[in-house]
Structure 1
C-alpha cells in the first residue's frame, strides 16, 4: 500500500515537473517580421516533448503497479495546477480559467484512454 501511495506521489511531482520543465519557463511570444503576427509562446517541440513525457510517465507508472485511477489523477490534477499557476500569473482577462478547464478535460480524457489501452494490452 505504501509503495502505491509513493508511486502516485512520484507521478504527481513528475507531472508538474513536466509542465515546468518543458513549457512553464517560456513566456515570450514570437512575432513574424514579415506579417507581424504573433505566435507562441510554446514551440511544437516543447508541446511534443511534454506530451511524450506524460505518456511515458503514465505508461511507466501503470507498468510499475500504480493503479489506473491513481495514475490518471496524479497526472491530470498536478499538471493542470502547474499550468493554471503559470497562466494566472500572466493573464489579466481571467480567461486562464477556460484554459485550465480545457487542460483538465483534455488530460483526463487522454489519461483515461491511454490507461484503458495499457491495462487491456497488459492483460492480453
Structure 2
C-alpha cells in the first residue's frame, strides 16, 4: 500500500508540474512581442492584462485542486519552481538588460505566496467538508 501511495503522490507532483508549465504556455508562453506606442515610443508587454489574469486564475485553480489531493507543503514548491523556471527561461532568452532577474524574483515570491495560500485554504475547506 505504501508503494502505491508514494507512486500516486509522485504522479500527482509530476502532473502538477506539467500543468503549471502548461498554464504558462497557454497564457504567456506564445507571446514574445512588445508593443510600442507610436506617439510616445514607450514599450509595454509582452503580456496583456487579460493574459496575466487568465494565467493567475488558472494557477489558482490548479493550486486549489492540488491542495485537496497533495500536501500544500508539496504543492507550493512544485508550482513555484515549475512556473519560475519556465518564466525565467523565456525572460532570460529575450531580455538584454538583465532586468529579467527582478521579474524572476517577483514571480518566485508571488508564486510561493499565492500557491501556498490557495492550497492551504483548499485543504482546510476540503477537510472541513469531509
After TM superposition, the score normalised by the length of structure 2 is 0.86
* Greater Rg over alpha carbons, structure: 2
For the 8 Å contact 2:66–2:119, the answer to whether it is kept is no
For the 8 Å contact 2:75–2:116, the answer to whether it is kept is no
- Whole-angstrom distance in 2 between the partners of 1:66 and 1:49: 24
- Is 2:54 the partner of 1:86? no
- Whole-angstrom distance in 2 between the partners of 1:96 and 1:60: 30
Q: Which runs of 5+ in 1 are unaligned?
A: none
Aligned-pair CA distance for 1:15:
0.5
Aligned-pair CA distance for 1:110:
0.9
- Is 2:71 the partner of 1:67? yes
Match of 1:97 in 2: 101
How big is the alpha-carbon RMSD for the aligned residues of Structure 1 and Structure 2?
A: 1.4
Aligned-pair CA distance for 1:99:
1.3
Aligned counterparts, 1:45-56, within 5 A? 45-56=50-61
Q: Which runs of 5+ in 2 are unaligned?
A: 1-5
Give aligned pairs, total. Answer: 123
Distance 1:2 1:117, change over 3 A: same
- Whole-angstrom distance in 1 between the partners of 2:92 and 2:25: 14
- Whole-angstrom distance in 1 between the partners of 2:19 and 2:26: 10
